[in-house]
A and B are shown apart, each in its own frame.
Chain A
Amino acid sequence: MPEIRVTPLGAGQDVGRSCILVSIAGKNVMLDCGMHMGFNDDRRFPDFSYITRNGRLTDFLDCVIISHFHLDHCGALPYFSEMVGYDGPIYMTHPTQAICPILLEDYRKIAVDKKGEANFFTSQMIKDCMKKVVAVHLHQTVQVDDELEIKAYYAGHVLGAAMFQIKVGSESVVYTGDYNMTPDRHLGAAWIDKCRPNLLITESTYATTIRDSKRCRERDFLKKVHEAVERGGKVLIPVFALGRAQELCILLETFWERMNLKAPIYFSTGLTEKANHYYKLFITWTNQKIRKTFVQRNMFEFKHIKAFDRAFADNPGPMVVFATPGMLHAGQSLQIFRKWAGNEKNMVIMPGYCVQGTVGHKILSGQRKLEMEGRQVLEVKMQVEYMSFSAHADAKGIMQLVGQAEPESVLLVHGEAKKMEFLKQKIEQEFRVNCYMPANGETVTLPTSPSIPVGISLGLLKREMAQGLLPDAKKPRLLHGTLIMKDSNFRLVSSEQALKELGLAEHQLRFTCRVHLHDPRKEQETAMRVYSHLKSVLKDHCVQHLPDGSVTVESILIQAAAHSEDPGTKVLLVSWTYQDEELGSYLTSLLKKGLPQASS
Chain B
Amino acid sequence: MDDAINILQNEKSHQVLAQLLDTLLAIGTKLPENQAIQIRLVDVACKHLTDTSHGVRNKCLQLLGNLGSLEKSVTKDGEGLAVRDVQKIIGDYFSDQDPRVRTAAIKAMLQLHERGLKLHQAIYNQACKLLSDDYEQVRSAAVQLIWVVSQLYPESIVPIPSSNEEIRLVDDAFGKICHMVSDGSWVVRVQAAKLLGSMEQVSSHFLEQTLDKKLMSDLRRKRTAHERAKELYSSGEFSSGRKWGDDAPKEEIDTGAVNLIESGACGAFVHGLEDEMYEVRIAAVEALCMLAQSSPSFAEKCLDFLVDMFNDEIEEVRLQSIHTMRKISNNITLREDQLDTVLAVLEDSSRDIREALHELLCCTNVSTKEGIHLALVELLKNLTKYPTDRDSIWKCLKFLGSRHPTLVLPLVPELLSTHPFFDTAEPDMDDPAYIAVLVLIFNAAKTCPTMPALFSDHTFRHYAYLRDSLSHLVPALRLPGRKLVSSAVSPSIAPHEDPSHQFLQQSLERVYSLQHLDPQGTQELLEFTIRDLQRLGELQSELAGVADFSATYLRCQLLLIKALQEKLWNVAAPLYLKQSDLASAAAKQIMEETYKMEFMYSGVENKQVVIIHHMRLQAKALQLIVTARTTRGVDPLFGMCEKFLQEVDFFQRCFIADLPHLQDSFVDKLLDLMPRLMTSKPVEVVKILQTMLRQSTFLHLPLPEQIHKASATIIEPAGESDNPLRFTSGLVVALDVDATLEHVQDPQSTVKVQVLYPDGQAQMIHPKPADFRNPGPGRHRLITQVYLSHTAWTDVPLPSPNPGDGAWCWGSFFLAVLQQLLTRRLSPGRQDAAVSEALSPIDQVPDSASLAVSS
Contacts and interface: CB of A to CB of B under 8 A. Distances in A.
Nearest to A185: B313
Interface in B316-353: 341, 344, 347-350
Given A222-B311, A396-B260, A213 B276 contact: no
A372 interface: no
Contacts of A465: 52
A216 B276 CA distance: 16
A189 interface: yes
Interface in A383-436: 383-386, 395-396, 399-400, 403-404, 419, 422, 425-426, 430
Given A223-B344, A257-B349, A260-B347, A288 B260 contact: no
Given A189-B276, A194-B134, A215-B308, A220 B349 contact: no
A366 B218 contact: no
Interface stretch (B59-67, B148-156, B209-217): B209-217
A333 B435 CA distance: 48
A470 interface: yes
Contacts of A287: 276
Given A260-B385, A426-B260, A386 B219 contact: no
A182 interface: yes
A191 interface: yes
A208 B219 contact: yes
Interface in A187-245: 188-189, 191-194, 208-220, 222-223, 226
Contacts of B225: 212-213, 216-217, 220
A467 interface: no
Contacts of A450: none
Contacts of A212: 213, 215, 222, 224-225, 247
Contacts of A226: 344
A426 B258 contact: yes
Contacts of A132: none
Nearest to B311: A219
Interface stretch (B267-275, B493-501, B746-754): B267-275
Interface in A314-348: none
B95 interface: yes
B765 interface: no
A504 interface: no
Interface in B246-277: 247, 255, 258, 260-261, 267, 270, 273-277
B244 A384 contact: yes
Contact of B219 (A213, A404, A422): A422
Nearest to B226: A216
A223 B311 CA distance: 11
B311 A188 contact: no
Contact of B244 (A185, A214, A364, A400): A364
B50 A258 contact: no
A183 B276 contact: yes
B278 interface: yes
Contacts of A422: 219, 255
A443 interface: no
A422 B182 CA distance: 23
A254 B184 contact: no
Nearest to A299: B313
Given A215-B274, A399-B260, A192 B184 contact: yes
B309 interface: yes
Contact of A209 (B182, B216, B226): B216
A371 B375 CA distance: 45
Contacts of A208: 216-219
B314 interface: yes
Given A220-B241, A289-B314, A395-B260, A211 B215 contact: yes
Interface string B577-611: 00000000000000000000000000000000000
B557 to A, nearest CB: 58
A430 B258 CA distance: 11
B271 to A, nearest CB: 9
A259 B353 CA distance: 12
A194 B184 CA distance: 9
Contacts of B182: 400
A194 B138 CA distance: 14
B97 interface: yes
Nearest to A471: B97
Contact of B216 (A182, A189, A210, A386): A210
Interface in B652-680: none
Contacts of B308: 213, 215-216, 219
A218 B311 CA distance: 9
Interface in B341-381: 341, 344, 347-350
Among B50, B52, B274, B309, the one with the most A-chain Cβ atoms within 10 Å of its Cβ is B274
A213 B244 contact: no
B567 interface: no
Nearest to B49: A470
Contacts of B305: 213
A209 B217 contact: yes
Contacts of A189: 276
Contacts, number: 116
B270 A213 contact: yes
A258 B184 contact: no
Contacts of A385: 242, 244
A219 B341 contact: yes
A502 interface: no
Interface string B267-303: 1001001111110000000000000000000000000
Interface in B42-57: 50, 52
A395 B242 CA distance: 27
A425 B255 contact: yes
Interface in A284-325: 287-289
A399 B258 CA distance: 13
Nearest to B386: A260
Given A212-B224, A214-B274, A216-B226, A289 B313 contact: yes
Nearest to B218: A208
A258 B184 CA distance: 32
Contacts of A210: 213-216, 260
A233 to B, nearest CB: 14
Contacts of B267: 396
Contacts of B311: 215, 218-219, 222
A509 interface: no
A209 B219 CA distance: 7
A469 B276 contact: no
A536 interface: no
A468 B50 CA distance: 11
A430 B241 contact: no
A365 interface: yes
A258 B349 contact: yes
Given A194-B134, A220-B241, A399-B260, A213 B348 contact: no
A153 to B, nearest CB: 11
Nearest to B246: A386
A485 interface: no
A598 interface: no
Contacts of B214: 210
Contacts of B95: 473
B274 A183 contact: yes
Given A215-B274, A215-B311, A473 B97 contact: yes
30 contacts: A193-B184, A194-B134, A208-B216, A209-B217, A210-B213, A210-B215, A210-B216, A213-B225, A215-B311, A217-B225, A218-B311, A219-B341, A223-B341, A226-B344, A258-B348, A258-B350, A259-B347, A260-B347, A260-B385, A287-B276, A384-B244, A385-B242, A385-B244, A386-B245, A395-B216, A396-B261, A399-B260, A403-B261, A426-B260, A471-B97
Interface of A: 182-183, 185, 188-189, 191-194, 208-220, 222-223, 226, 254, 257-260, 287-289, 364-366, 383-386, 395-396, 399-400, 403-404, 419, 422, 425-426, 430, 465, 469-471, 473
Given A212-B224, A218-B311, 7 more contacts: A208-B217, A208-B219, A211-B215, A219-B341, A254-B313, A258-B349, A419-B218
Closest A-B pairs by Cβ, 4 of them: A216-B225, A183-B276, A215-B308, A259-B347
